[in-house]
């Protein structure tokens, strides 16, 4: 899925702690949720995460599932490893990004020309785990409600009728302001479910973890246009 969806897709994966509520409404305001998550993200210097992605093949009806492992070192380093039939490795290190497809024995090499391009690439290739929240929810109608298990359900709906995204539903943790799971509804496509199986802050990453050398025999090329895909 391209930039329109990725520019908003992970913004909804919020968590929320106890908060003052409106009379008769146990849920905190959605603006408070956004402020609290923003505060958490501003403190993240490094993280690792394991995300399970599930969707349905529209042709066969078969469930498609694979695991994504992420490592992030602030401000400009990311490694994303996608397992399963879509196996690939994405590495961002400063102004460069590599997308390695082992099955095709091919590497796409991109130059990130400015800060905006770098932040967009980090966001999309981390499934939104590295990005500021406030800038991501612009143009979104948003609401939140408490669930029986104590978690919160955040809903984001684009205010543009022609958006490539119909809505996002996100379940959020009331204790640590971190991701639990969400469901994404792209227009005209099967819903996508993401579950965070593991999230560790400050795990002790090294800059060398983000070095990338193409395997021998791999074809390397630089695309003429910035058309990288997110994995959705």
Using CA atoms, how far apart are residues 85 and 155, in angstroms rounded to an integer? 30
With respect to residue 27, please indicate whether it lies within any of the assigned structural domains: yes
- CATH number of residue 74's parent domain: 2.50.20.10
Number of folded domains that form the chain? 1
Residue 178 lies in a domain: yes
Q: What are phi and psi of 38, to 5 degrees?
A: -60, -45
Choose among 140, 150, 198, 143: nearest CA to 172: 150
> How far apart, in Å, are the Cα atoms of 153 and each of 195, 216, 221?
14, 47, 43
Q: What is the pTM of this model?
A: 0.75
For 89-142, write each residue's pLDDT tens digit.
Answer: 999 999 999 999 998 899 999 999 888 888 888 877 887 777 666 656 777 898
Q: Determine the distance from the C-alpha atom of residue 80 to the mean position of all C-alpha atoms in its chain, rounded to a whole number.
A: 11
DSSP codes of every residue in 179-194: EEEEEEEETTS--EEE
Contacts of 97 (CB under 8 A, 6+ apart): 90, 91, 109, 110, 112, 121, 125, 228
- Backbone φ/ψ region at 123: left (φ over 0), alpha (ψ -120 to 50), beta: alpha
CA proximity to 11, closest of 183, 137, 194: 137
Find tokens 């499934």 and name the residue.
127
Is residue 163 situated within a structural domain? yes
Alpha-helical runs (H) found in the chain: 3-6, 30-42, 115-125
Q: Is there a domain that residue 227 lies in? A: no
Domain containing 21 equals 3-221
Q: How many CB atoms lie within 10 A of CB 137?
A: 19
Taking only the tens of pLDDT, the chain with its 232 residues reads: 444 344 334 433 333 333 333 344 567 888 888 888 888 888 889 999 999 999 998 889 999 898 999 999 999 999 999 987 678 999 999 999 999 999 889 999 999 988 888 888 887 788 777 766 665 677 789 899 999 998 989 898 988 888 888 998 888 887 887 778 889 898 888 999 999 988 898 999 999 999 999 888 899 987 766 665 544 3
Could you tell me if residue 181 is inside a domain?
yes
47 occurs within a structural domain? yes
Kindly state the helix (H) or strand (E) to which residue 192 belongs, with its residue range: strand 192-201
**Whole-number pLDDT of residue 209:** 94
Residue 226 lies in a domain: no
Distance of CA 227 to the CA centre of its chain: 17
- Per the CB < 8 A criterion, the answer to whether 222 and 109 are in contact is yes
> Are 47 and 129 a contacting pair, CB within 8 Å?
yes
Question: Could you tell me if residue 91 is inside a domain?
Answer: yes
């Amino acid at each position: 899925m391209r930039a329109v969806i990725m520019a908003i897709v992970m913004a909804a994966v919020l968590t929320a702690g106890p908060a003052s509520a409106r009379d008769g409404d146990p849920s905190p305001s959605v603006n408070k949720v956004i402020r609290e998550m923003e505060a958490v993200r501003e403190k993240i210097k490094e993280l690792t995460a394991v995300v399970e992605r599930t969707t349905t093949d529209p042709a066969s009806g078969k469930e498609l599932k694979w695991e994504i492992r992420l490592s992030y070192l602030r401000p400009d380093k990311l490694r994303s490893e996608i397992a399963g039939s879509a196996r690939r490795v994405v590495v961002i290190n400063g102004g460069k990004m590599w997308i390695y497809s082992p099955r095709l024995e091919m590497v796409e090499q991109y130059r990130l020309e400015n800060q905006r391009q770098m932040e967009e690439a980090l966001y999309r290739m981390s499934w939104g785990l590295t990005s500021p929240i406030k800038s991501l929810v612009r143009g979104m109608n948003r609401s939140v409600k408490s669930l029986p298990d104590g978690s919160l359900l955040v809903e984001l709906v684009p205010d543009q009728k022609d958006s490539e995204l119909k809505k996002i539903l996100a379940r959020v943790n009331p204790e640590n302001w971190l991701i639990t799971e969400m469901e994404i509804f792209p227009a005209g496509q099967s819903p996508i479910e993401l579950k965070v199986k593991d999230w560790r802050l400050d795990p002790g990453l090294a800059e060398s973890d983000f070095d990338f050398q193409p395997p021998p025999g791999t074809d390397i090329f630089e695309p003429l246009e910035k058309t990288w895909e997110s994995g959705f």
